[in-house]
Chain A
């Protein structure tokens, strides 16, 4: 009986692995095709590439302004992370420690931000940015992404700060520390794990989003990675020799990040959704 169950589990595991591998075929297809020449794509669309030819990559790298846009994406991600975590944690502190009417009203305001779909705000944000000269600037894009991530950050930090024992603050309060000093010296040093998960969130969103940069940027030297991929592939009529290396270059950094932080990302994203 027990052996029978064992075999059943083995067979089921094999089936699960095959099904999952099947789901990953498009990713494998993308990787394999990125090394193929134009004629190879025609003659051998599914098989392994004849050789590991990096010609497509060299061509894509030189034409799509890759390094510059990677630097742009990283710079924007870092700025957004710093702003979101500072503003978010600061706002979360009173929301976590007070339960009066004002606190509840502010939670509601954050919930409004969290649940507003971005298509409602993109038109007015475009108009506002145009009027105050923030179109086509890093500052504008960073502010827009900061706003997009802030409500989630506030909720995230609020529940995290609630789990910090209040006794830690009481000692400092007896020493007559101001609220800000307590926040800065007692609370802030404990926020590391929350900030780490949050920054993964921000990185994912900034790297992958293309609505905001598409709408707000026109200067090629300011493009983020996805908008470079979008333009590069779109301008070449979907030629596979451009498409696949660009797709790999566009997703590789995050896929590598995912391999290292897979548990943290999956549980962070699902926890964020469950809240």
Chain B
């Protein structure tokens, strides 16, 4: 009786458990189940064994999508982390403009992928797009280019829009890390005559290790699964240059209703995301402890 009473308060968690069960636990299990079928939405799903998975690992279009996803993620994570650290280090030294600049940099993250995608698509447009017009205005017509129409530059162009959107986010997290650095440590090193660069290199960067971990993990996971910007800006084109794995999932759902195959793809992606997150977490945490 006493134990029952002790646990009665957990009745409060019942609605939340129901929601999580219905929208996470059951769907994950259903996804796993559907991934071994050829379910297209009508009739009873027919078991096809590992056929969906075999397809993913043998067709070149899915292997290419795999590479595209990794390259896209690597570009975004490296550049975004570097830019975010640069802005944070700069703004940390400038308390007078810090808040204003942080807010301004954060503004693109307030906008939807839909709007960022469309606006950048027009910026890259070969017909009076902003980027080519700007190049012409400063006399660099020779650099004009069909940025997202050329398979060689499309992925970089889309990655750049993504980086533009989230640099403020990375900067804000680094700035929060800076706020946690004891100010007397900075003061002491300044008095000892350490230059701005020396302080950055030997005091700030090591102490920012936890912010590195958060930023790298957040942007890696966020970018690995992203389909929004390629979906809006290029639809995976030209010639599959921006076709990411998650875009394949959306494409197999829309109009095609290949639920079985889409489920298999999402399970593969889930394993990829969990694996990358696990390895990164292990590595970055051990790095944190070493410094």
Instruction: Please report A residues at the B interface, Cβ cutoff 8 Å.
Output: 9, 12-13, 15-17, 19-21, 23-24, 26-27, 29-30, 33, 41-42, 45-46, 87-88, 90-91, 93-95, 97-98, 102-103, 106, 109-110, 112-113, 116-128, 130, 143-144, 146-148, 150-151, 154, 179-180, 183, 204, 207-211, 215, 226, 229-230, 233, 238, 240, 243-244, 246-247, 250-251, 254-255, 258, 262-263, 265-267, 269-271, 273-274
Contact partners of B173 in chain A: CB under 8 A: 270, 273-274
Contact partners of B168 in chain A: CB under 8 A: 23
Q: Which of B15, B105, B218, B266 contacts A23 (CB 8 A)?
A: B105
Asked if A208 contacts B214 (CB within 8 A), the reply is no
User: How long is the Cα–Cα vector from A126 to B260 in the complex, in angstroms?
Assistant: 13
The 8 A CB mask of B84-123 against A (1 = contact, 0 = none) is: 0001001101101101011111111111111100111111
Asked if B10 contacts A150 (CB within 8 A), the reply is no
Q: Which of B34, B108, B129 contacts A124 (CB 8 A)?
A: B34
User: How long is the Cα–Cα vector from A215 to B266 in the complex, in angstroms?
Assistant: 16
Asked if B8 contacts A90 (CB within 8 A), the reply is no
Asked if B34 contacts A127 (CB within 8 A), the reply is yes
Contact partners of A262 in chain B: CB under 8 A: 103, 106
- Known contacts A120-B28, A230-B114; is-contact A112 B20 (Cβ 8 Å): yes
Q: Which of B1-59 contact A (CB under 8 A)?
A: 7-10, 12-13, 15-17, 19-20, 22-28, 30-31, 34, 39, 41
Contact partners of B109 in chain A: CB under 8 A: 269
Contact partners of A274 in chain B: CB under 8 A: 173, 176, 214
| B273 beta carbon closer than 8 Å to chain A | yes
Contact partners of B176 in chain A: CB under 8 A: 267, 270-271, 274
- Known contacts A16-B97, A91-B16, A251-B115; is-contact A127 B23 (Cβ 8 Å): no
- For A20, A103, A183, which residue has the most chain B Cβ atoms within 10 angstroms? A20
Known contacts A24-B107, A106-B10, then 5 further A-B pairs from the complex at CB < 8 Å, ordered by chain A residue: A46-B133, A123-B34, A229-B112, A240-B122, A258-B106
Contact partners of B204 in chain A: CB under 8 A: none
Asked if B97 contacts A123 (CB within 8 A), the reply is no
Q: Which of B214-236 contact A (CB under 8 A)?
A: 214, 218, 221, 225, 227-228, 232
| B73 beta carbon closer than 8 Å to chain A | no
Pairs across A and B, CB under 8 Å, 29 listed: A12-B94, A13-B97, A15-B90, A19-B87, A21-B104, A23-B104, A23-B108, A26-B119, A26-B123, A29-B119, A45-B128, A88-B16, A98-B9, A109-B20, A113-B24, A117-B269, A117-B270, A117-B273, A123-B266, A124-B27, A126-B259, A146-B19, A147-B19, A147-B24, A208-B112, A246-B118, A266-B172, A267-B176, A269-B169
- Known contacts A146-B19, A250-B114; is-contact A215 B253 (Cβ 8 Å): yes
Asked if A45 contacts B133 (CB within 8 A), the reply is yes
Asked if B101 contacts A17 (CB within 8 A), the reply is yes
Q: How many residues of B contact A (CB 8 A)?
A: 85
- Known contacts A179-B8, A210-B112, A273-B173; is-contact A91 B13 (Cβ 8 Å): yes
Contact partners of A110 in chain B: CB under 8 A: 16, 20
User: How long is the Cα–Cα vector from A126 to B265 in the complex, in angstroms?
Assistant: 16
Contact partners of A27 in chain B: CB under 8 A: 107-108
Q: A183: nearest residue on chain B (CB-CB)?
A: B12
| B130 beta carbon closer than 8 Å to chain A | yes
Asked if A151 contacts B214 (CB within 8 A), the reply is no
Contact partners of B125 in chain A: CB under 8 A: 238
Q: B16: nearest residue on chain A (CB-CB)?
A: A91
